[in-house]
Structure 1
Amino acid sequence: MARCDVCGNDYDKAFRITLADGSSGTYDSFECAIHAVAPTCEHCGCRIIGHGAESGGRFFCCAHCASHAGVEGIEDRA
């Protein structure tokens, strides 16, 4: 069995995620994986599990949050 890097649970169905930079982690659930590797919205603080929006190296969960942070030109719909 493998131990989750986030919660410490020793689980026979744990999985490993390797990021593009070569770092990796072991997780027992998608919830723990999201907590560990998903970026955080700069405005509201939620974890970005969809496409989100990026501007100048800043990450946002949606155009609404980006606009509240002063970013222009990002729309949720084209």
Structure 2
Amino acid sequence: MSKEFTMAEVAKHRSDDSLYLVIDGDVYDVTNFVNEHPGGAKILKRVSGKDASKQFWKYHNEGVLKKYKPQLAIGTVKAEAKL
């Protein structure tokens, strides 16, 4: 999981062929998980391409992240310079 993404790169992955989202600075590829998600595909599609940390922690605990992070995490969000 050494690849770094900008939020602009993550935002490009909002289609049925490629769904990325961010949780606490880590980038997750949920493309192949979307149909397994207990809450349904609709919610993952709604937050894809975005930072979904707030929505994730509202409905999940740390155990969920520990369980799925090894198979879904693909990198981190690159710190962007603020001018």
Asked if these proteins are the same fold (TM beyond 0.5), I'd say no
Which protein is bigger by CA-based radius of gyration?
A: 1
Q: Which has the higher contact order (CA 8 A, sep 6+)?
A: 2
Identify the TM-score tier after normalising by the shorter chain: under 0.3
Name the TM-score, length of structure 2 as normaliser. Answer: 0.21
Name the TM-score, length of structure 1 as normaliser. Answer: 0.22
Structure with greater helix share of residues: 2
